[in-house]
Amino acid sequence: MARASTTSDVFNALADVRRREILDALISGEKAVGAIVDDLSMSQPQVSKHLRVLSEVGLVRCRAEGRHRMYRLEPTRLRPLQEWLTKYEVALHDRLDRMDDYLRELQRQGEGR
């Protein structure tokens, strides 16, 4: 089997630099496809395709305005990523705490002598 489908989850959708660039371009607010094309100097079909992927995982939402399509971020969908990261922050802090305890114990023993 090859790599898991890019549309399956947020992690895969974010694996591509271009898609991250598109998201970055949308931080400042809603934008039409053409505006993104101009900002990033990518081809229009490429932008549309990446937007489709981002849509499918819910990271962006689309709104029709005349013949333009305005895309905007849906940052709430980054929550799985945040939660995943949190586990590691906790692990890291726990480890630092243990290290801290250890150092304190060493110091206590040193004082005792």
Contacting positions for DNA (CB under 7 A): 1-7, 12, 15-16, 18-19, 32-34, 37, 42-53, 62, 64, 66-69
Candidate list 7, 11, 34, 99; residue touching a second copy; CB under 8 A: 11
Between CA 77 and CA 20 the distance in angstroms is 14
Between CA 52 and CA 22 the distance in angstroms is 12
- Structure-block tokens of residue 65: 């305005």
Which of a second copy, DNA, none does 73 bind, CB closer than 5 to 8 A by kind? Answer: a second copy
Which of DNA, a second copy, none does 92 bind, CB closer than 5 to 8 A by kind? Answer: a second copy
Which one, of 55, 37, 58, lies nearest residue 46 by Cα? Answer: 37
DSSP 3-state assignment of 60?
Answer: strand
Contact 18, 52 (CB under 8 A): no
Query: In the complex, which residues of this chain contact a second copy (CB under 8 A)?
Result: 3-4, 9, 11-12, 14-17, 20, 23-24, 27, 73, 75-76, 78, 81-82, 84-85, 87-89, 91-92
